Structure 1
């Protein structure tokens, strides 16, 4: 089978047209939108964050109006939801620190309260801490594909092959999800992309009254932040990218998915050592080297004989659900005990722990926004036929059995007909040297190998601090005083390490 879709010429009639050469985006904002001379964004009217719980009482919310199509600033508009906690010491304030949400598909309205609480007091004094719901998420013109409940299972959203390696079911799922998304209202869905997020961020900057922004992007937020720094380099102040992926403009999110195979292998030894520690009450094996074969054998058994798991989606613990749970659990060592409890119950025949299944409503928005971003960003998903995917999956299953071929399997983007409508951004060394990257050495989602590609793309614009830690997200997230101090110093003084640095545990 060959996967095809109509050719879409990036002509001026397409809503999001930009100059054809990504390398020409270094010094100037996007051409057509800039030439249209959009009206200045209106100052944000701050007020209470209604309908939200668990927030810092000082957090305020507001909206910023942006064009649905930035190339047509006089056309339809959407409102972006923004939030802030103002500087706690106005006399020390030096600007705005924008938290760029991850995902893609994650809302960020809660971030000044959530991540803001983690920041050192000196940083909270120096900055208004601001975040936003990217277009299509949360309260910013949210999108939905109205998928059935069973298609919201992570086991299905991630393209896990069948137990025998067949990819027939993931192929059918990918086509069905793409078709379902495209059958609904695509007015906003077709405009969700990383380049449009960068343009939206610049309108937020303008509405905040800031000549330049400082930023803290985490996970996918590092890519959105990198694209902003490429499109609007003269608007960046102190730019922190925390847990970066490979910005390869030919692959983007397809490369990020593939990197899960590397990330799981990088992070798994930490779990194995923990699971074999004699002092661990949740110990799973006598030796660390016994944990991998034990887990692979359990997954194979669950492939043959799934266990009922009421309340989960799907309502069974099969081999792929266990593999997906392993991947999710490697995001943070704090999740290891819950994974061990599930493994113990499944292996020994005890009652399974209660599943942690997110509500369908939240999943509908996250899935739609995530798919729109990764599919609208780059066209690299659509050129391979099923035979190519089958070969890639078989090779990956042999080399990386913990992920069983999932990271290189087909996604709905292979059948997506809404985008992309403009070239992908190439990150280059041209621009101000004001980027500080921080990265855990063993990161399941954005492995160090990919972060090094981002570091190389920026050249002397960036420095990178590698922290000897497992997990996803590094700054003020894993207790490494060395790494935290280097980022805090940069945010407060602009001082970066003279060269790339390593922080021991």
Structure 2
């Protein structure tokens, strides 16, 4: 769940920013319990759009001690360019955990302001631990910072022993090096920080557009502060079951990959593709070819004799899982499959993408602090065995051992249960074939909200619906996406939602 369409749980692509110096709690500045005023300045070059302003919001390290140590949350704002049309403030809630809201606002703010016709000042924030906000660092090594390492991809034949060792090492390093700051990374504290931001803005209510993990943040805010919500858009939602939260989202990615892979297979078998991208002559041949290649590559060591990284089965699977987020990533995945297919028994050089150790800290911190994860290693082994048999594309990774299994403390806050208590002002949008937050999980969020919500599903695949047509290549999918865009824009500008849940297709919306 994240900032870009390739963002996902535990692999956030937050924009690089200079990390704030991490002060120990005893040395942090003291601050009042009430929200301070914000001093807005032009954002530094490269951190936001030219018209965007930035400020620093002090927040309590621990809200149970509101006048105790403070940390900083970086916030940004793009003012309405039509003051007479302005009706309020719209908060962009980033995904992740670990996505940068300020970077997202810089990327989409102008388009969003145009789409909503100046109805809002548009604001966002870098959650604690992200971008220019106060950060922590797990001090992880390079091997733990690529997706095939940070995530619990099993070894050959489903062996989880390496995942157990790595997850224990990551947990111990994060706890040892992250201190009280990493313990403060949680959905509950992001929600509190958002409400403090609202107060600092002088707004009685906020409207919001949350994407991916940001939908959970938005849902919890709507549950905790219903009187301060105006028009609430949740884009690409997960199951909000408080007993599982992030653990359930990761587990759902197994079936989600199955839902989405046929879109890639159809694309990768198109006769009009260049040779380096056409994986097979028939769409039905793409999946078995992928699975056989991944199994063969499981025998390849992660590094060659001279220490250079090589394509392994899990690296190929990780690329697949990430590439399903956007049609625009299909060519990269296809090229990698073709290269592995044509290499025969020769190793394929591979340069793994890495996230920073500080970005890993916020991802690990949030998912481990939000809810207690099971600690039984035999139970994980059984779950991986069953899951990789049902969903071989993801090889059991989504139910594998995370660092949270070795996290020393339980959640500081009881996970929030989303209910139907509150104003009927939520609009959900969701692709039918989402590789990260599958449609069936979003239906659980819809069910939890009851009559508070309406849900517009979209007959397309990808992650992140609103203003996301640029990530689609099929013209029919683009028309379906435009249908959903109209529903969201109409809601944000007029307050009108569909009378009932609907399905957007290339032909338009129909009631479900």
Tell me, yes or no, whether TM beats 0.5. yes
Tell me what 2:98 maps to.
105
Gaps of 5+ in 1: 1-37
Partner of residue 125 from structure 1, selected from 105, 115, 118: 118
Distance 2:409 2:53 in 1: 35
Does the CA-based 8 Å contact 1:116-1:129 persist in structure 2? yes
Give the C-alpha shift of residue 419 in structure 1: 3.5
Give the C-alpha shift of residue 40 in structure 1: 2.9
Partner of residue 472 from structure 1, selected from 463, 475, 494: 463
Give the C-alpha shift of residue 455 in structure 1: 0.4
Tell me what 2:312 maps to.
318
Distance 1:314 1:174 in 2: 24
Q: TM-score, normalization: structure 2? A: 0.87
Distance 1:294 1:354 in 2: 19
Taking a change above 3 Å as real, the CA distance of residues 122 and 298 of structure 1, as seen in their structure-2 partners, is closer
Distance 2:217 2:467 in 1: 21
Tell me what 1:288 maps to.
283
Does the CA-based 8 Å contact 2:188-2:413 persist in structure 1? no
The alignment partner of 1:427 has SS state of coil
The alignment partner of 1:215 has SS state of strand
Tell me what 2:152 maps to.
159
Tell me what 2:328 maps to.
334
Tell me what 1:386 maps to.
377
Equivalences, count = 461
- Mapping for residues 43-58 of structure 1, pairs under 5 Å: 43-50=37-44, 52-53=45-46, 55-58=48-51
The alignment partner of 1:259 has SS state of helix
Distance 2:219 2:302 in 1: 44
Gaps of 5+ in 2: 1-31, 470-477, 507-512
Tell me what 2:5 maps to.
none
Tell me what 1:482 maps to.
483
Partner of residue 303 from structure 1, selected from 298, 303, 310: 298
RCO (CA 8 Å, sep 6+): is it higher in 1 or 2?
1
Distance 2:224 2:65 in 1: 18
The yes-or-no answer on 1:425 pairing with 2:426 is no
The alignment partner of 2:157 has SS state of coil
Distance 2:117 2:340 in 1: 45
The yes-or-no answer on 1:451 pairing with 2:442 is yes
Taking a change above 3 Å as real, the CA distance of residues 187 and 54 of structure 1, as seen in their structure-2 partners, is closer
Give the C-alpha shift of residue 231 in structure 1: 0.6
The alignment partner of 2:392 has SS state of coil
Taking a change above 3 Å as real, the CA distance of residues 402 and 316 of structure 1, as seen in their structure-2 partners, is same
Give the C-alpha shift of residue 309 in structure 1: 8.4
Taking a change above 3 Å as real, the CA distance of residues 308 and 187 of structure 1, as seen in their structure-2 partners, is closer
Tell me what 1:494 maps to.
495
The alignment partner of 2:264 has SS state of helix
Distance 1:388 1:55 in 2: 45
CA RMSD of aligned residues (A): 1.9
Does the CA-based 8 Å contact 2:256-2:433 persist in structure 1? yes
Give the C-alpha shift of residue 390 in structure 1: 1.1
The alignment partner of 2:356 has SS state of helix
- Mapping for residues 400-439 of structure 1, pairs under 5 Å: 400-439=391-430
- Mapping for residues 260-279 of structure 1, pairs under 5 Å: 260-279=253-272
